[in-house]
Amino acid sequence: QKEVEQDPGPLSVPEGAIVSLNCTYSNSAFQYFMWYRQYSRKGPELLMYTYSSGNKEDGRFTAQVDKSSKYISLFIRDSQPSDSATYLCAMSFMEYGNKLVFGAGTILRVKS
């Protein structure tokens, strides 16, 4: 079993829809949770960073962490065609330092 599970999709939605992306994990030590966006032929770009449980909002993006369920989510409101990309969840904990454990990534397509 992988430490981090993420549905690879693809997920196809119409422009303006609310998108929900999710990851589950098995290692209860994880404390730091991130979402990255990766466009084709580019490196991942950090979207959201959350420490421990709770919600964090940044513009159209909201990240949620539920440590009791070992489940994290990223919501995208008013999705745009420019949001079409692969979304990767990543997590780590103090002893791992800068070593991140990534999910497989979900391919998102927003149709105009």
Indicate whether 105 belongs to the interface with other proteins (CB under 8 A). yes
Q: Is 83 helix (H, G, I), strand (E, B) or coil?
A: helix
Q: Which residues contact 111 (CB under 8 A, 6 or more apart)?
A: 12, 13, 14, 15, 81
Indicate whether 1 belongs to the interface with other proteins (CB under 8 A). no
Indicate whether 51 belongs to the interface with other proteins (CB under 8 A). yes
Indicate whether 110 belongs to the interface with other proteins (CB under 8 A). no
Distance between CA atoms of residues 63 and 55, nearest Å? 6
Query: Where do contacts with other proteins occur on this chain (CB under 8 A)?
Result: 31-32, 41-46, 49, 51, 88, 90, 92, 94, 96-105
